[in-house]
Amino acid sequence: MYLRYLEALDEDGQRTASSDELAQLCGTTPAQVRKDLSFFGSFGKRGLGYPVHELTDHLQEILGLRQEWRVIIVGAGKIGAALANYRGFRQRRFTVIGVYDNDPAKVGSSWGAAPIRAMDALEGDIARDGAQIAVLAVPGEHAQPVVDRLVGAGIRAILNFAPAQLVVPEHVSVQSVNMAMELERLSFALANSDQDG
């Protein structure tokens, strides 16, 4: 969150930001800002504020956002298509280098620069191209078998859109985006709230 606001300030050409200003932007307190940012080194100077550009650089570096990541998308359905076009990938130097699907009507075409390839090619391509991150956009019942193949081929980070609990070894990171669960939380909140709120 800090990074997002710092990037915006940096783009606007602002040189320094006080903890008061960052606190207001992030909806927290100046003391919390100073505490959080102190984890990343002694950047803030009393009375001078934080140097926006240097702190932005530093946070990008820590988050691994200054290097390029090679991404594959498994599942060339609607979610996969929306993601292939997602500009947030490019902004964070995530390059989609391939899309995998079993549909013969799709295999052989491409989405932008990314070719759509058959699932058979998955392991060989990962070894050859050095993909690091896989986006999982397959139906829930196919998720775990695909994950096992990805992990076996050396993938260590998975962004999961399939409605399934995934089992992975400890060295593999999984982030799940579970739309169904978000909807259920909203539904629960509405159903159990006072109508006069």
Binding residues (CB under 8 A) for a second copy: these are 1, 3-4, 26-27, 62-65, 67, 69, 78-79, 81-82, 85-86, 88-89, 91-92, 94, 132-133, 156-159, 163, 165, 167, 170-173, 175, 177, 179-180, 182-194, 197
- The number of beta carbons lying within 10 Å of the beta carbon of residue 100 is 28
* Minimum distance, C-beta of residue 100 to a second copy, in the bound complex (Å): 18
The DSSP-derived string for 167-187 is ---TT-EEEE--HHHHHHHHH
- Nearest approach in angstroms of CB 95 to a second copy is 12
Closer to a second copy by Cβ: residue 91 or 120? 91
Nearer to a second copy, 42 or 67 (CB): 67
Cα 150 to Cα 175: distance, rounded to the nearest angstrom? 15
Q: How far is the CB of 41 from a second copy (least distance, A)?
A: 16
- Shortest Cβ 46–a second copy spacing (Å): 27
Complex with a second copy: residue 94 or 100, whichever CB lies closer: 94
CB 159 within 8 A of CB 133: yes
- Report the alpha-carbon distance of residue 75 to residue 39 in Å, rounded: 39
CA distance 40 to 156: 25
